[in-house]
Structure 1
């Protein structure tokens, strides 16, 4: 059994929407890889059938119900790989949704987020491959739906989406991944480290894209970016917390005054 979403009746499904609604991870990644920037122009607002396509497994639970496992065992390292793979799978849908949901933006916006979707699909396949090497697969552990819930909360405004998804949730990966790598280095898990290092290096560009389009939206509305970012975090009940990878965040477009002084 798998989740499926019916395409809009009376018209062919556009390639980008087909990728967004595809539930099978391998098929979704293949559809994303085949997307060409600019080929889909008539965007129908919203998502047919509600949530984006995703498999029945993993079981989605509240964040409090996701078990914490130590990295000292193979199962613990597999659980970490599964958590990262789940983030990357959600990030595919987030990037596709950023293209599909918001109309009237420059062509460069759609090209940027399509390129992010393609990177995220590659990241997912890399991490899923490592998970399989450890004897597990995507869906073998439970996970939570926080990333897509953030997409739903920010679906009304591209400015809010750019502020609160790439610049908060995706930027969190810049903060915590170095700690994961350090711990895995102690455990001599070079194969998992190799995948995480690829993801960390490329996620800087993804967050920078979010920063750039956030500032573009602010300029269009004659808003001061730093004050607007702080206001939106407060309105969304978001507090940045340590650790902060200030060097990576600076390369991703953050100004020092945007970050708390812990």
Structure 2
């Protein structure tokens, strides 16, 4: 019996994909929750049609797995070249068409992959390709996986985002996005881990954003492929640098944000979110710099194979997104007459980082699947409040943040479930998540929950309903709280 292929799934209207010739599609299977896929789609504009007959430019669509089959590194930044086919070498009386076989060149090791077949002429490796169809103007994809896998789209992003292109800073973004690194006091790092640790110690938010963009650009181009050099990498800092002028208080002392009904309330909201995004940059690069050598064969990370390049790639993308979020939030703050650092901030997210520095499972559970997932619940509420107050500009900024955050939670879910599955015997990911929360999170997970977007990222109700941690830190005795703080110091 031959199984029918999976049903085609709609991606987007082709008009909505004009911003770039390349997009990365993040997919997740509902029936196999641990199955996450990243697919690169490429649009090649063909020869112009006969405009007198009302024809338009012909388009060809290709798709290929975004992870190179060699080491799992992302293909999205590779050059795409059009190679002649054998039939074009024949003298058939017609002008040869050099646009017959597009191939993508992996930016890391220069391996080529045919975008139609996935074959590599330089290595013998085979990349997965996927069928695309345009139906009534909507691009559809035949998803990966076996028959019956119910794949859904988590997110679609253009590869050629101007924010990520150092050579073409977006004029709509604040000067933070185009800051030169010439003023950086340290020599340029030579490994990914060294770069991440340098970002943690950046002297100000502008330098932090610029360093993130530099790291991601060099990584995607294949210019920076060395992960770590213990002999030359700087030591891992205990905590990220913050300027002495930054007023840091306990999270309970930052004041209520209000409901966004007036400008001052929205300023407090934007400032609080900018603070979260700045810490989120640090958390993402700390994931990479702290856990790059984590071994997947034992719960303590000391045995088995090292975690793959997909982990590094995913969380560098998260760092890039968080840098973008900080930039656009701070830009909006400045438009409202404020700037980051004008109000007090808290470092609650970094306290969670210290609580989970011993375990990648714990880190992903608390940071990605609790804190980031909580943003999926609160962002839509804030967006509605801003729109109700007539502040469409702030609402659009928050929408940009929200859509990216869904993919961040999905990345945490992907690697958390993969770590659970790699152990022998494998761990049940939902049970392990709830155990991690009971050990390392303080307080209850409070609703209301945004079930639809949580489910997009992989979290159904079984993950979070009725879940509580160990109780608030404020409920601890002073001596016990101090002891725990000492235990978490590097």
| Normalised TM-score (structure 1) | 0.90
Which blocks of at least 5 consecutive residues in structure 2 are unaligned? 1-184, 294-305, 468-490
Aligned partners of 2:261 and 2:386 also within 8 Å: no
SS at match of 2:238: coil
Aligned partners of 1:167 and 1:211 also within 8 Å: yes
Matched, 1:113 2:318: no
Aligned partners of 1:95 and 1:117 also within 8 Å: yes
Q: State the Cα deviation string for residues 49-88 of structure 1 (Å, max 9, x = none).
A: 4211333343110111112243333222111100010010
Superposition pairs of residues 105-184 of structure 1, within 5 angstroms: 105-184=307-386
Q: Counterpart of 1:76?
A: 265
Instruction: Return the match for 1:60 from 238, 248, 262.
Output: 248
The count of aligned residue pairs is 255
Is the alpha carbon distance of 1:16 and 1:186 closer, same or farther for their aligned partners in structure 2, counting shifts above 3 Å?
same
Matched, 1:33 2:237: no
Q: State the Cα deviation string for residues 75-125 of structure 1 (Å, max 9, x = none).
A: 221111000100100000000000000013101100100010001001100
Distance 2:447 2:354 in 1: 26
Indicate the larger mover: 208-217 or 11-20.
11-20
Greater per-residue strand proportion: 2
Superposition pairs of residues 87-106 of structure 1, within 5 angstroms: 87-102=276-291, 103=293, 104-106=306-308
Which blocks of at least 5 consecutive residues in structure 1 are unaligned? 1-5
Q: Counterpart of 2:143?
A: none
What is the Cα deviation at residue 47 of structure 1? 5.3
Instruction: Return the match for 2:239 from 42, 51, 54.
Output: 51
Q: Counterpart of 1:42?
A: 228
Is the alpha carbon distance of 1:97 and 1:43 closer, same or farther for their aligned partners in structure 2, counting shifts above 3 Å?
farther
Indicate the larger mover: 13-22 or 80-89.
13-22
SS at match of 1:14: helix
Flag the structure with more relative contact order, 1 or 2, with Cα contacts below 8 A and sequence separation at least 6.
1
SS at match of 1:15: helix
Q: Counterpart of 1:233?
A: 437
Q: Counterpart of 2:33?
A: none
What is the Cα deviation at residue 239 of structure 1? 2.4
Instruction: Return the match for 2:462 from 254, 257, 260.
Output: 257
Q: Counterpart of 1:85?
A: 274
What is the Cα deviation at residue 32 of structure 1? 0.4
Aligned partners of 1:92 and 1:117 also within 8 Å: yes
Is the alpha carbon distance of 1:61 and 1:43 closer, same or farther for their aligned partners in structure 2, counting shifts above 3 Å?
farther
Matched, 1:22 2:202: yes
Indicate the larger mover: 177-186 or 35-44.
35-44
| Normalised TM-score (structure 2) | 0.49
Q: State the Cα deviation string for residues 119-143 of structure 1 (Å, max 9, x = none).
A: 1001100000000011111001111
Superposition pairs of residues 203-214 of structure 1, within 5 angstroms: 203-214=405-416
Greater per-residue helix proportion: 1
Matched, 1:192 2:394: yes
Which structure's CA Rg is the greater one?
2
Distance 2:418 2:377 in 1: 25
